[in-house]
Amino acid sequence: MLELIVYGIVLGSIISLGAIGLSLVYGILQFANFAHGDLMTAGAYVALFLITGPFAWLGISDKTFGPFSFGWRMVIAFPLSMLAVAGLSILLDRLLYQKLRKRGSSRVILAMSALGASFIIRMGVLIIWGADSLFYRSGLLRPALELPAGIKIRPDQILILIIVAVLVILLHLFLQKTKMGKAMRATADNMELARISGIDIERVIMWTWGIGGGLASAAGILYGIDVQLHPGMGWNFLLPLFAASILGGIGNLYGALVGGLIMGVVQQVSTAFLLPTYKPAVAFIIMILLLLIRPQGLFGGKTR
Amino acid sequence: MSECWRRIWVDSTDNIILKVEHVTVGYSKIDILHNVELMLRRGEIVSIIGPNGAGKSTLLKTIFGLLKPRIGCVYLDGRDITGERPERLVRRGISYVPQVENVFPSLTIQENLEMGAFTRTDDFSGRMEEIYGLFPVLGKRRHQRVAFLSGGQRQMVAMGRALMLDPQVLLLDEPSAGLAPKFVSMIFERIIDINRTGVSLILVEQNAREALNMANRGYVLATGRNVLDGEAKALLANKEVGRLYLGG
């Protein structure tokens, strides 16, 4: 049981990264981004492309670091993929959502267009890489460490927790200390007043998509390192992402962080009683219960 | 809009800083303001009074570019600003405090002021201290979130935010609305202090007598039209105004 909780925290930390981005975009644009899960997929495959394509060609060493399942190639590919998906999500906004917003389209139309974008990303990945599951490094033995209390954990998983923690702290510092971060919080509070104050809203929106996309990419890669890559991986995450954001009070980033961890743990622990294939059902049931009992989330939504 | 920019309005004798010329504006097909005129001289306080639904707030929104007039022009300091977007107007020296939702509640007092200075790239800490000097209670609580402040203190934050860019003209929409009486007189005193630092003010108020008491001049609007305007003292003495808008 303890072991399932630890695995749940690893899975939950990945869900958290995605949920924070989803919540950030929702907080500022009131926009339910159904393509957010597929941005995770895009990130994972961009990293795969870099590692197996250009980096192999450039002759960057393929050796793994000590007990970990990756080496220099991944270290370089990780930030580059974050940048690439940040760019992709800004591009989607410019080509698609921004135009619809300016026309005054309803939230439903925007959500549906995001759903369409999610299909395009997913099918693109499917066409290029095929439907099979892939690994960043195949044929690698991945031994687990034995922690006290008999918990087995792979070194990769410990690192995943550390990377998520670092990213969350960086995001926190960005939002609290920088001018753009503060402007993002201000815009989430009251976009009209932000405009009246002279804040450049379009730049705020660009940063929002960039950060959301970058975090989604990181989440996708980390899941790829922990488990595997699959064209449907991000789509399957969409339900837990929304459940985690709603759990934390949508628009509340720290809530999304906790919501993600809770979703991860609950899903993993459920496998002790149910078949693992029911994991999405567990996420769905939590979301429905929450919407019925406490729609503002455990920690309340945005302060109004 | 092109009718405005060609006719650059020059008036050096009267020291006019802001002028609204025959403005007609509305939402979709219904006009709210009809042919409204208004001017503000440098260093003045001008109060706009009138019953609910007279279009007072609409006039402020039109001046600040949140609504585009169907007909008419707005000039600031001799330049046409008709329908110009707020994010550009703030750089031209005009700031606006809406009646409601005029603060960022989840940000601290200090962060609210920083957002008011968003377009500034220089060091604005001196300006911030001046504003804390004007509202000492804000300085003491500068790292508190605005969500926890009283209505009067929120109004001070809202005014402080609008003052961060050192505007020439400040538009205030019902600053005393919903405040406890002791805060009402305090806010009015601060408005006079702000005016003394050289800011010209347009004030929309329900509290018509108070608003005229501290103003140089006043405008009376009703159903979106100019009804009367003139020296504030004259309006206060006017029997018609007294009966209709000042409560006897």
pLDDT tens digits, one per residue of B149-205: 988 899 999 999 999 999 999 999 999 888 888 888 889 999 999 999 999 999 999
For residue B7, the model assigns a pLDDT of 55
Number of structural domains found in chain B: 1
Q: Considering only CB atoms, which chain A residues are within 8 Å of B118? A: 179, 183, 197-200
Residues of B in contact with A186 (CB under 8 A): 104, 107, 111-112, 115
Residue A60 reports pLDDT greater than 80: no
**Nearest-by-Cβ selection for B86 from A189, A195, A302:** A195
Does some domain include residue B174?
Answer: no
Cβ separation of A195 and B161 shorter than 8 Å? no
Cα angle A40, A44, A47; round to 5: 140
Q: Is the pLDDT score of A107 beyond 60?
A: yes
Q: How far is A24 from chain B (nearest CA, A)?
A: 15
Q: What is the mean pLDDT of residues B125-149?
A: 93
Say what the pLDDT of residue B13 is.
61
Nearest to A302 among B106, B161, B165 (CB): B106
CB contact under 8 A, A195 and B87: yes
In a domain, B39, yes or no: yes
Q: What residues of chain A lie within 8 A of the CB of B91, using their CB? A: 198
pTM of the model: 0.88
Q: How far is CA B123 from CA A180, A272, B201, in A?
A: 16, 59, 26
pLDDT-derived band at A303 (thresholds 50, 70, 90) equals very low
Domain that holds residue B237: 1-93+201-248
CATH of the domain at B22: 3.40.50.300
Q: What is the pLDDT of residues A212-235, one digit of tens each?
A: 999 999 999 999 998 889 998 989
| pLDDT at position B10 | 58
Question: What is the per-residue pLDDT across A168-187, written as a single tens digit (0 to 9) for each?
Answer: 999 999 999 999 999 999 99
**pLDDT of A72 strictly over 90:** no
Of A47, A95, A106, nearest to A75 by C-alpha is A47
Mean pLDDT of A99-103: 89
Tell whether the model's pLDDT for residue A199 goes beyond 80. Answer: yes
* Domain assignment of residue B65, yes or no: yes
* Ranges A148-152, A275-279, B143-147, B155-159: which has the least confidence: A148-152
Say if B108 falls within a structural domain: no
The top-scoring range by mean pLDDT among A61-70, A167-176, A278-287, B230-239 is A167-176
Residues 33 through 92 of chain B touching chain A, CB cutoff 8 Å: 64, 66, 86-87, 90-91
Kindly indicate the confidence band of residue A304, based on its pLDDT and cuts at 50, 70 and 90.
Answer: very low
Quote the CA–CA distance of B219 and A197 in Å, as a whole number: 27
ipTM of predicted assembly, 2 dp: 0.89
Tokens of residue B242, six digits: 């007294």
Torsion of CA B185, B190, B194, B197, to 10 degrees: 110
Q: Is residue B112 part of a domain?
A: no
Average pLDDT, chain B: 88
Nearest to A219 by CA among A170, A284, A142, A163: A163
Angle A215-A303-A36 from CA coordinates, rounded to 5°: 25
CA nearest to A114, candidates A242, A293, A225, A6: A242
Question: How many of the other CB atoms lie within 10 Å of CB of A58?
Answer: 9
pLDDT tens column, B33-69: 999 999 999 999 999 998 888 889 999 999 999 988 8
From B71's Cα to the closest Cα of chain A, the distance in A is 23
Instruction: State which residue of chain B sits closest to A193, comparing Cα positions.
Output: B102
Three-class secondary structure assignment of chain B: CHHHHHCCCCCCCCCEEEEEEEEEEEECCEEEEEEEEEEEECCCEEEEECCCCCCHHHHHHHHCCCCCCCEEEEEECCEECCCCCHHHHHHHCEEEECCCCCCCCCCEHHHHHHHHCCCCCCCCHHHHHHHHHHCHHHHHCCCCEHHHCCHHHHHHHHHHHHHCCCCCEEEEECCCCCCCHHHHHHHHHHHHHHHHCCCEEEEECCCHHHHHHHCCEEEEEECCEEEEEEEHHHHHHCHHHHHHHCCC
Distance from CA of A183 to the nearest CA of B (A): 7
Write b or e for each residue in B117-151: b if 16 or more Cβ atoms lie within 10 A of its Cβ, otherwise e. Answer: bbebeeebeebbeebbebbeebbebeeebbeebee
B115 and A190 in contact by Cβ < 8 A? no
Per residue in A37-57, pLDDT (tens digit) is 999 999 999 999 998 888 778
Chain B closest-CA separation from residue A171 CA (Å) = 16
Q: Is residue B146 in some structural domain? A: no
What's the longest Cα–Cα distance across chain A? 59
Q: To the nearest whole angstrom, how far is the Cα of B173 from the nearest Cα of chain A?
A: 13
